[in-house]
A = this chain, B = another copy of it.
């Protein structure tokens, strides 16, 4: 495993990256499936045919079809062929956040994040263990310590929310909100970077955190949900400020 010394030179994938042939072919086939020209259970053209139709080699076709298989859209049997999978039976879900810079898109993401986090907070309020509570309290204190040190506390902020979500014991909540959180909060982080009003705002955020924590301690699900919702709503509002500049 050779280490790359120039870590700052992380390749920018989003822009400038020419899509590979397999990528474009996979996209076209996906379109073909979505359009309904190929129905569930039907057989796809053979790799040979596909390679001729689209003018690429068979390994490329294999790679493209392999992705569809990976995403649960097709199934293949050696010797028989590849078949369109029944969407009802598909067990994988794929979420693509393509154009994150788009403001409408960001709003949609935040809405989903709010739905998940508010519900998770509610659940945690009604079924947390003592150990869960101790962890959450520790994160809350760390956030305060970061603020006292004059830092933004964004990382501690994330950790606090994550502790709450983890306490639900629901891996789907955990994974989904971790993903959404990362997307939204890295956005916030970069947006905040040039801001001067950092210190005061962090303390306001902390106050909202305290309200959430108190409701959890009191085992008050409704209150916890409400506190989480206002917190997230405020966060979205604060975010909007930076978006408009």
The 8 Å CB contact of A63, one of B38, B66, B93, B98, is B66
**A211 to B114 CA separation, bound complex (whole angstroms):** 24
- Cβ distance A119 to chain B, nearest Cβ, rounded Å: 3
Q: Which chain B residue has the least Cβ–Cβ distance from A97?
A: B91
State whether B93 touches A4 (Cβ < 8 A): no
State whether B77 touches A17 (Cβ < 8 A): yes
State whether B111 touches A11 (Cβ < 8 A): no
Q: Which chain B residue has the least Cβ–Cβ distance from A7?
A: B41
State whether B75 touches A173 (Cβ < 8 A): no
A116 is an interface residue with CB less than 8 A from chain B:
yes
The 8 Å CB contact of A8, one of B87, B91, B109, is B91
A85 is an interface residue with CB less than 8 A from chain B:
yes
Bitwise interface map of A from 65 to 77 toward B, beta carbon under 8 Å scored 1, else 0: 0110010100101
Copies of this chain, tallied across the complex: 2
A137 is an interface residue with CB less than 8 A from chain B:
no
The segment from A141-149, A175-183, A199-207, A237-245 found at the interface with B is A175-183
State whether A75 touches B123 (Cβ < 8 A): no
- Cβ distance A243 to chain B, nearest Cβ, rounded Å: 18
Residues in chain B near residue A75, CB distance under 8 A: 11, 13, 15, 17
- Cβ distance A53 to chain B, nearest Cβ, rounded Å: 11
State whether A95 touches B96 (Cβ < 8 A): no
**A14 to B90 CA separation, bound complex (whole angstroms):** 10
**A14 to B85 CA separation, bound complex (whole angstroms):** 12
State whether B41 touches A4 (Cβ < 8 A): yes
Q: Which chain B residue has the least Cβ–Cβ distance from A120?
A: B115
Bitwise interface map of A from 1 to 37 toward B, beta carbon under 8 Å scored 1, else 0: 1111001111101110100001000100000000001
A172 is an interface residue with CB less than 8 A from chain B:
yes
Within 8 A of B (CB), among A69-109: 70, 72, 75, 77, 80, 83, 85-98, 100, 108-109
